Structure 1
Amino acid sequence: MRTEVLSAAEPYIIRQDYTAYTQEQHAVWAELVERVYPELEKHAAREYLEGFQIIGLQRDCLPHLGSISARLEPRTGWNSTPVSGFLPAPAFFEMLASRRFPTTTWLRSRESMEYTPEPDIFHDVFGHVPMHAHAVFADFLEHYGRVCAAISDSAVLEKLGRLFWYTVEFGVIRQSGEIKVYGSGLISSHGECTNVVSGGCAIRDLTLDEVLQTPVKVDELHKLLFAIDSFDQIYDAMREAERRAMRGRL
């Protein structure tokens, strides 16, 4: 685990007390995985499924972040760093730029299994972290954090947030003639994933212009998402967004 000081993020970094998790919490994790993983085996991007195996996620017990990072860091330089909760933007971007993914350690209750408004360890680890084992995606995510960390204009950050939303959170990819999910919000939400694979959501080719013009809605199932053909596309889109931002044309 890296030990460098991150000025904005340091106050939020904590230690995961793995022994504090109860058998009930491990059981809730297992039920959450069992609800979605059989569908993901059919509908998730192959890079996600490969990453799931690479980082050693278990289907029947909560993840130990140190163990995951020990497998992930030699591969792409990323690790899962436990944090106390929601981070302000400067701290979040600083951590991404350092290849440290801010990971919450709490788990939703059985009564909130379908939805929780605040990300928990299921969303953060099950949803996000397997993709960090993919080299191009890992590089894109660091680049995104580095660019955003250098920007103070809130309007520009909102536009860049749309790129994050429609790729990292709700991204889909065409593979073998089918739409596959890779975004964490789709991976970790049975309802959102079903909405996509059942045809309830329109899918258009990802273009930077349309993504930047499409507002984010958090209070309803998505009616429109954007598909890529390779992960190089999201990295290319990030580079173009950076060029526009630097010229004041985003």
Structure 2
Amino acid sequence: MTTATLSAAAPYLINQDYSSYTEEQHSIWAELVGRVLPELEKHAAQEYLDGFQIIGLKRDRLPNLAEVNARLGPRTGWNSTAVSGFLPSQAFFEMLAARKFPTTVWLRSRESMEYTPEPDIFHDVVGHVPMHAHPVFADFLEHYGRVCVATPEEPIREKLSRLFWYTVEFGLIRQQGEIKVYGSGLISSHGECLNVMGGHCAIKEFSLAEVVNTPVKIDELHKLLFVVNSFDQLYEIMHEAERLATSGRL
């Protein structure tokens, strides 16, 4: 899928005006990154930490998406693509299928540093983009987009959205006998990360059948999340989800 075929997403594509960011915004970025990095260095999956370095994220300056993409594209073909805001589902899936991650370019204010209801550049880039440098995860995410584009049935899309939620947004992985975080909602939320690592959230072995039937609650800290043992397992889960979605048995 090429940019030319992004019919649903096209109205939302914009350019990042990097020169428009103020020193106050760079300062907010530095404070946000400074808050989460110490916890991430202890609790994030190694693939995430590697990706943070690979794409050249800076601790004290907002990311220039053109510079990020110059590092990311040759590695996995993914692109952090600026969008004007929240996308309808079909537009979002189209972009994932084209290996273009919809990235908001606005940054939360100092008054909203603890929480913002809409994704901002901190959530999108720090939360998501480092994982796009990992080839297996990158393939999983593109495959997810392609399956959703080809699945018009809303009940099945709802179940697929739960798969996304409990992997891409709030995914956990077991590495060297420890639980590590890789989902963007855990990466970019100090409170959610501490909730899991502090033992306040039940953790179950990943079961596709259970995951797609576990409702999502966005207004409270998670009480249940699911852990995979490898990103190869995640890739295979996506193939299983495709088979079930295609047959209408998801």
Letter in 1 for 2:88: P
Could you tell me which residue of structure 2 aligns to residue 161 of structure 1? 161
Deviations 1:60-81 (A, max 9, x none): 0100001001100000000100
Report the Cα offset of residue 4 of structure 1. Answer: 3.8
Report the Cα offset of residue 56 of structure 1. Answer: 0.2
Q: Output the CA distance in 1 between the equivalents of 2:160 and 2:55.
A: 28
For normalisation by structure 2, the TM-score amounts to: 0.98
Report the Cα offset of residue 235 of structure 1. Answer: 1.3
Could you tell me which residue of structure 1 aligns to residue 20 of structure 2? 20
Letter in 1 for 2:134: H
Report the Cα offset of residue 3 of structure 1. Answer: 5.4
Could you tell me which residue of structure 2 aligns to residue 249 of structure 1? 249
Gaps of 5+ in 2: none
Gaps of 5+ in 1: none
Could you tell me which residue of structure 2 aligns to residue 224 of structure 1? 224
Aligned length: 249
Q: Output the CA distance in 2 between the equivalents of 1:244 and 1:4.
A: 30
Q: Output the CA distance in 1 between the equivalents of 2:142 and 2:247.
A: 21
Matches within 5 A, 1:97-136: 97-136=97-136
1:72 and 2:97 matched: no
Could you tell me which residue of structure 1 aligns to residue 179 of structure 2? 179
Please give the root-mean-square deviation of Cα atoms over the aligned residues, in Å.
0.9
Deviates more, 1:232-241 or 1:68-77: 232-241
Q: Output the CA distance in 2 between the equivalents of 1:226 and 1:19.
A: 41
Q: Output the CA distance in 2 between the equivalents of 1:231 and 1:245.
A: 21
Q: Output the CA distance in 1 between the equivalents of 2:39 and 2:79.
A: 27
Report the Cα offset of residue 238 of structure 1. Answer: 1.1
Q: Output the CA distance in 2 between the equivalents of 1:155 and 1:120.
A: 28
Q: Output the CA distance in 2 between the equivalents of 1:213 and 1:6.
A: 30
Aligned 8 A contact 2:3 2:98 in 1: no
After TM superposition, the runs of 4+ consecutive aligned structure 1 residues lying more than 2 A away are 2-5
Could you tell me which residue of structure 1 aligns to residue 50 of structure 2? 50
What percentage of residue pairs aligned between the two structures are identical?
A: 74
Could you tell me which residue of structure 1 aligns to residue 62 of structure 2? 62
Secondary structure of 2:174's aligned partner: strand
Q: Output the CA distance in 2 between the equivalents of 1:232 and 1:160.
A: 19
Report the Cα offset of residue 164 of structure 1. Answer: 0.3
Q: Output the CA distance in 1 between the equivalents of 2:196 and 2:148.
A: 29
Matches within 5 A, 1:184-195: 184-195=184-195
Secondary structure of 1:225's aligned partner: strand
Q: Output the CA distance in 1 between the equivalents of 2:88 and 2:155.
A: 16
Secondary structure of 1:39's aligned partner: helix
Secondary structure of 2:108's aligned partner: coil
Q: Output the CA distance in 1 between the equivalents of 2:195 and 2:45.
A: 16
